[in-house]
Amino acid sequence: MSAAYTSLPTQANGTSDYPPTRTKALLSRLTPAAPPTRIRRLLLFIAVLALSSLFILYLAFSSSLPSSSIFPVAQETLNDHNFGYMPPGDPTSPWFRDSHPVLHTRLFLARAQAEIRARKLDTCNGQLSTPMVDGYVDAAQLYCSPNHSSPAPASITCFPARGPGSPNEWWPYPQSFCASRNLGHTLSWGGSPEHGQFTGACSLTGAGEQLKADMGREGFVGKDFNEADNGVKDGKRDCGEIITHPVLFVPRQDRWNPFHVGEDLVTTFLALTIFSRHGAAPISSLSSFFQGGSKLWTSLPEAYSAYAAGSTSEFLKARKQLAEEVKSTAGLQLMFLDEYLPTVSLFAPLYDRMGAFPPRRTAAEALGDGGPTCFSSVFHSVGAGASLLSGTGVGKEWGCASELVWGASLWLRWLWGMEALPGGELDLEEDLFRRDAMAKRAPVGQLQDHRPPVQVLFLSREKFDALTKHQNKKLSSWQESRHITNEHELVDGLRKGLEGLCRIVTDVGRGTPSSHTPGSYDCTYTDTDVLPGAWGVDLHPREARALGLSRTPTAPSPEVAPRQEEVTSENHVDTVPPRALRFSTLDPTTAALPAQLGAVGRADVVVSVHAGALGLMLFMPTGHASVVELVPSGAHGNYHFHNMAAMLGMQYEKVDVGRQVNVQKVVQAVQRVVGGHLER
């Protein structure tokens, strides 16, 4: 038995030898017979200990925390995980919902218009911009006229793409958004029609008959509609469920390819923008298709430009006016008639933040209870065919910016906490709470000792290809055309090439490589695959130490510091502060959606072989980010991401590669692009 081991006492309870003599002496001091002075000392000690604990808690949670210059790491941790007040309208809250998407899409559209004009970008005469919306709204026609003898007269108004004289006559497929009042819907549950049956007390108009014929096989609400007083019994509406808040039906064409998912998201943005102009007007005023009017539609972008320049009054006034004009669309809910449940769709969370209520998915939950579901106000979006991302043709180059795609990107980024809402919260009290909660964060524009980081992300296909081979024994022809055989060598080359740009390398626990040759840029290179906590923050403590800086501010809140315009300097080493250059890899096969968005949405440069994952560039910073696409010979003639980059105002670099990639060729192209970001 070890000498350090002491056995438990073996005497029976009650013997005079237990407890031991020393323990008896200690316990005797705490008995009522102990001198009063000792008891008072004990009580005083307990009181001091309790007061000290309360004082420490007060310091920890007080708003007057120590400055970051005194406790840099602790301050960064507190700021980066702000547990203070989070109003319901704050996208950084896990419970966030966009309760008024119609209003917010208009605000972000105005910002997109202002930013595109400020950069003097070509929009090809607005072919994918706001003139499109004008074309849809101007072509509005009464598809189904209300039967006023019914207790629930219904109506359908449609907005076809190819109206006479419309700027959208070039659109490649028949297409029509629609808005309805007082329709009923009955599920088919696998029967015909596929998406169930809409019914309503209205009569098809002559224009409606023509539109139905023009639409052919393309899906729209008229395809699944029957004229009937379904839902009326004994002169009253007989509904299993009545939904009085506005609803947007969203058809989706895909559940797993990020590019096609992006198409559906952009189409949803377009639908909300169109309906912001119509607003599902009451049946008594169906001839009034504009909910606001052309003045606000054209003046809001100019007001935002003034707002961005520091003159806020006109934009805030216009914003309040817009909120009043589209108030009938507040409280909107999304509904899906397809089979893409969250259990089978990685991208379901992209929609879960849209709308005042959680989306309804009829594939798993029946609408109504023993009868049709009756809707007061419904907007019907469009499904497959073409979208803003593919309507001009993915087999040819497109080189113009799109106000609508740009605005959709800003809105989607805001939904995930990566952009500021134009004008902030309308509720003054919430806005004051927000400012207090974010006060300790340091905006980018106020940091003088360093600049924002440049973050480079490589999208990998290695695990996806390996998993596909394991499951199917081989790759399909289109998968084979995107497969490269030396990805490991390529990633190593990118790491070394980016490291060579910087003066110093961040110590990530492995020490600075002794062979590092200082580069020409005043930056520190960080491999965030090894130091993942650095991705997305303004400056990691290890980077601050590498650059010789005394403080480590955290990433700025988008509510406090919107993205700043870059300033180019020729003599970047001597005249501008240093920064961090980071490199990371992401394989979407093994990363959940929030992780993918957090990586891509905060990347300045994305490098990837031509693949659907590049569709996530919809979440990259508009007008700022760069994309380097590696195009194997089997993918030549596909301009999906070249065109998206142009629509979003992003730099695009194409590198033709073979299955065995020329690593040096790719590294040099990436160095050129990243060097441009380092000089900004």
Residue 578 CA, distance from chain mean position:
29
CA distance 457 to 620: 11
pLDDT tens column, 191-211: 556 678 899 999 999 999 999
What is the model's pLDDT at position 86? 40
Q: Confidence class of residue 479 from pLDDT cuts 50, 70 and 90?
A: low
Q: Which of 307, 678, 316, 386 is nearest to 521 (CA)?
A: 678
Q: Is residue 35 part of a domain?
A: no
Of the chain, the percentage scoring pLDDT greater than 70 comes to 73
CA distance 643 to 401: 9
Dihedral sign (CA 670, 676, 679, 680): negative
CA distance 510 to 6: 44
CA distance 177 to 251: 11
Query: 343 or 433: whose pLDDT is higher?
Result: 343
Q: Residue 431: exposed, middle, or buried by beta-carbon count in 10 A (0-12, 13-18, 19+)? A: middle
What is the model's pLDDT at position 447? 46
What is the model's pLDDT at position 253? 85
The answer on pLDDT for 8 being more than 90 is no
DSSP 41-62: HHHHHHHHHHHHHHHHHHHHH-
Q: Are 383 and 516 within one domain?
A: no
CA distance 538 to 453: 6
Hey, what amino acid is at 226?
Answer: N
**Residue 181 three-state SS:** strand
CA distance 178 to 166: 17
**Residue 606 three-state SS:** strand
Burial 122-142 (b: 16+ CB within 10 A, else e): ebeebbbbbebbbbbbbbbbb
CB-based contact 143:178 (threshold 8 Å): yes
pLDDT tens column, 248-288: 999 988 888 999 999 999 999 999 999 999 854 444 444 44
Tally the domains of the chain: 2
**Residue 1 three-state SS:** coil
Q: Confidence class of residue 514 from pLDDT cuts 50, 70 and 90?
A: low
Q: Confidence class of residue 530 from pLDDT cuts 50, 70 and 90?
A: very high
Dihedral sign (CA 38, 42, 43, 48): positive
CA distance 624 to 677: 9
Q: Is residue 27 part of a domain?
A: no
**What pTM was estimated for this model as a whole?**
0.81
Q: Which of 421, 456, 490 is the last residue of a domain?
A: 421
Q: Is residue 489 part of a domain?
A: yes
Taking phi first (over 0 means left), then psi (-120 to 50 degrees means alpha), and beta for anything else, what does residue 637 get? left
Q: Are 175 and 129 within one domain?
A: yes
Q: Are 554 and 483 within one domain?
A: yes
CB-based contact 179:378 (threshold 8 Å): yes
**Residue 527 three-state SS:** strand
pLDDT, mean of residues 282-301: 61
What is the model's pLDDT at position 36? 61
Q: Are 473 and 365 within one domain?
A: no
What is the model's pLDDT at position 287? 44
Q: Are 469 and 350 within one domain?
A: no
Q: What angle do CA 640, 630, 474 make, to 5 degrees?
A: 90
CA distance 386 to 671: 36
Of the chain, the percentage scoring pLDDT greater than 90 comes to 56
What is the model's pLDDT at position 323? 92
> Can you list the alpha helix ranges (DSSP code H) found in 578-662?
593-600, 640-647
CA distance 392 to 405: 13
What is the model's pLDDT at position 56? 64
What is the model's pLDDT at position 55? 64
CA distance 603 to 617: 9
Q: Are 453 and 397 within one domain?
A: no
Q: Confidence class of residue 646 from pLDDT cuts 50, 70 and 90?
A: very high
CA distance 286 to 308: 37
Q: Is residue 33 part of a domain?
A: no
What is the model's pLDDT at position 286? 44
CA distance 570 to 349: 44
Q: Confidence class of residue 510 from pLDDT cuts 50, 70 and 90?
A: low
The answer on pLDDT for 290 being more than 70 is no
Beta bridge partners of 521: 502
Q: Which of 622, 125, 34, 178 is nearest to 400 (CA)?
A: 125
Q: Are 267 and 352 within one domain?
A: yes
pLDDT tens column, 318-351: 999 999 999 999 999 999 988 788 888 888 889 9
Q: Are 396 and 502 within one domain?
A: no
Q: Are 414 and 449 within one domain?
A: no
The answer on pLDDT for 26 being more than 80 is no
The answer on pLDDT for 168 being more than 70 is yes
Angle separating helix axes 130-138 and 258-278, nearest 10 degrees? 60
Q: Confidence class of residue 424 from pLDDT cuts 50, 70 and 90?
A: confident
Q: Are 503 and 562 within one domain?
A: yes
Q: Is residue 672 part of a domain?
A: yes
Q: Residue 61: exposed, middle, or buried by beta-carbon count in 10 A (0-12, 13-18, 19+)? A: exposed
Query: 636 or 82: whose pLDDT is higher?
Result: 636
Q: Is residue 88 part of a domain?
A: no
Q: Which of 356, 389, 421 is the last residue of a domain?
A: 421
What is the model's pLDDT at position 9? 42
pLDDT, mean of residues 111-119: 98
Q: Is residue 599 part of a domain?
A: yes
Hey, what amino acid is at 618?
Answer: L
Q: Which two tokens stand for residue 313?
A: 């009054």
Q: Are 345 and 217 within one domain?
A: yes
Q: Which of 389, 421, 453 is the last residue of a domain?
A: 421
Q: Are 156 and 198 within one domain?
A: yes
pLDDT, mean of residues 429-440: 38
Hey, what amino acid is at 356?
Answer: A
What is the model's pLDDT at position 64? 40
Domain that holds residue 151: 101-108+121-295+327-421
Query: 235 or 455: whose pLDDT is higher?
Result: 455
**How many DSSP H helices and E strands does the chain contain?**
20, 20
CB-based contact 455:584 (threshold 8 Å): yes
Q: What angle do CA 334, 339, 344 make, to 5 degrees?
A: 100
pLDDT, mean of residues 87-109: 86
Q: Which two tokens stand for residue 68?
A: 């970051």
Q: What average pLDDT is seen over the chain?
A: 81
What is the model's pLDDT at position 240? 85
Q: Is residue 143 part of a domain?
A: yes
What is the distance in angstroms between the CA of the first residue and the CA of the last residue of the chain? 71
Q: Which of 263, 102, 104, 97 is nearest to 179 (CA)?
A: 102
pLDDT tens column, 367-407: 666 678 999 999 999 976 789 999 999 999 999 999 999 99
CB-based contact 590:607 (threshold 8 Å): no
